[in-house]
Structure formats: C-alpha cells, structure tokens
Structure 1
C-alpha cells in the first residue's frame, strides 16, 4: 500500500513527542542509579528498563504518521530531552544521551523504513535491537569512560567516570563496560516485550491513513 506522506498536523505529533521526551528524560535520571536488586548493581542501571521504549514511540510514529513525522518526533524529542536533562541530570549525561539518541534514533528510522512492509513485528524488533546496540555503545562510552572525563571537568564538576574494574562472567573489565553489556541485554529483552504494547497501540491508532502498512 502507498505510504502516508502528507504532512501531519502538529496535534497528531504531540503524544509521540511527549512520550519520547518523557522516556529519555526519565532514562537520563535513572541511568545514574544502579539496579541493586539481586546483586546486579555492577551490571545494570534503572535506565536500562525505560530507554528502550523510546524506540517504541519512534516506531509507532513512523508506522502511523510516516517517515517525515517520525523525523520531527525524533528532532523535537531530542531537543526537549537534552535541554531538560542538562537541568535534571548532568551536562555530561545530557551530551552522551543527545549524541547516542540522535544516532540511534536515525538508524532506527532508516532500518524501520526499509522493513515497514514486512510482517508487523519484524521492523520494530530488528530496528530497535540494532539501534540499541549503537545507542548503548555511544552512551556509556561518552557518559562514563575515563577518556571523556574532561567533559565533567570542563563544566566544573567532579569526574563521573566509572572506569574502576569489576568482574563479570569471570572477566575483569571497567564498570562502564559491564553496565553497557547489562544495559544492552535488557534492551534486547524489552525489545521483545515491547512488541505487545506496540501491537495494542497499533490497533488503537488504526484510523490513520498508514494503518494498513505491514500485516497485523
């Protein structure tokens, strides 16, 4: 079916922009707090459980309103999230988040757009997993690797790097690498889980012209 290429009304974008900004801001705050239950404080942060839903918001906007709308959602969500994250988190976290967000979300858009006519679950699952890998690598290196500790010092803040060694799966590695691995594994898991709300929201918003793209 021919995709929807008309310019969406601003009101139609608001729910997606709001969801995107809320998810990223919450994740930027939660990523600063280790997930301590079950002794996983050196493997996970709370942000790993919230950020994957940014891809859900992006993919829903892409599916329902088209590629141009999804780009606007990414751009607006990016600006709101980075500006507010500087205030609610730290400048270094905001820079890392903004860089990783922009690259990963654009990649997610491109992969989703190439796969959008396949069975409904393939595009959101594949695009979110690949984009999550890039997002995790960029974010944790910029936010917590000692090589980027100068960002904190430039803003007159204490170095927030997490370069001290921990043992994971029998191997010694920097804490930020351990957290990145745990973060990515959770993102993959949530990528599968998020297919359920994705399918439900897809049906709820099925009145838009793009509703028949894919097979659901």
Structure 2
C-alpha cells in the first residue's frame, strides 16, 4: 500500500468528502423524477449529481495516483452506503453501493492504463465505459420489477453521464494546467 505524501493529504481528504457528498446526494435525488420539460420518465435529479463521482475519481487518479483513487473509492463506498441506507431506500443504497464500487474501480483501472496518452483520453474513455457499467448495474438492481420507468431513467441517466464526461474535460484540463505536477504512477 502506497503512503500518501504529506503534500497530498489535503487533496486526498477533500476527495473523500467530495465523493461521499456526491454519492449521498445522488442516492437521495435519484428517488425524484425530473419533472421539467416532461422528462419524468427519462431522468431523475440524481442524473445531474452522480457524474461528478467519476470526475473526483479521475482528478484523484491524475493528482496522486491509482492507489489513492482506489482508497477514495473505498472510503466513499463505506461512508456513502451507510449514510444512504439512512437517507434513502435500502434497495437504492445497496444498488448504489454495488454499482459504485464496480464502476469506480473500473474507472480507476482504465484511467490508469491510459494516463500516459493524450491528456483527454484517460478521463473520457474511463468515465464513459465505467458509466455504462455503473448505469446498468444500478438501475437494474434499484428499480427492476418496481413498476417505475427504470429503463427510461437508465437511458436518460447514461446520456447525462456522457454529456458530463465531455463537459468536464475542460475543468479537468484546467486542473492539469494549474497543478503542473508529474503524473503519479
């Protein structure tokens, strides 16, 4: 297990807090259909917060490495699932935990394998592929056989994740430019 350098501990702590906040907020908000524009059968409010989890994971991976990113995922998983179990339905908390763990660890692995290529490839490919896996696992486990429009929600959620994945490339690039640190191994 890699020790996190003293200079990176603040970032690491911030990443854990951000991850927990994103997952808990998303698990609460996924219970509410997105009513504006008649999109209640296609989106929930959680679609607009959860893509930030991939952003946090990718920033952590870029800043302090894959090992630290995995630890952020594990810490986020433990705390967020416990809080989500209290603040949302148990089925949603369990589905979220499973999808989160599989999706985020996949994101870390893919990102790490692509990190030395063009700057945008790792966050784009890892987030897109992990989003597909996360979405399928979560919406199937959370809402299948519930009578709710979960397939439409999954499709809408995935579309929003893809939009965020592309839209967050600019902030990711700014992060790289302002930190100007060598890539962690």
- TM class by shorter chain equals over 0.9
TM-score with structure 1 setting the length: 0.80
TM-score with structure 2 setting the length: 0.92
Q: Is the 8 A contact 1:8 1:69 kept in 2?
A: no
- For 2:176 and 2:3, how far apart are their aligned partners in 1? 19
Aligned counterpart, 1:188: 162
Aligned counterpart, 1:40: 39
- For 1:186 and 1:101, how far apart are their aligned partners in 2? 17
Higher Rg of the two aligned structures: 1
**Pairwise mapping of residues 190-205 of structure 1 onto structure 2 (< 5 A)?**
190-205=164-179
Aligned counterpart, 1:166: none
- For 1:80 and 1:204, how far apart are their aligned partners in 2? 30
SS at match of 1:16: helix
SS at match of 2:53: helix
Q: Is the 8 A contact 1:125 1:192 kept in 2?
A: yes
- For 1:14 and 1:69, how far apart are their aligned partners in 2? 10
| CA RMSD between the two structures | 1.5
Aligned counterpart, 1:143: 142
Aligned counterpart, 2:114: 115
Tell me the matched-pair count. 181
- For 2:37 and 2:114, how far apart are their aligned partners in 1? 38
Aligned-pair distance for 1:201? 2.6
More helix by share: 2
| Structure 1 residue ranges without an equivalent (≥5) | 147-160, 164-174
| Structure 2 residue ranges without an equivalent (≥5) | none
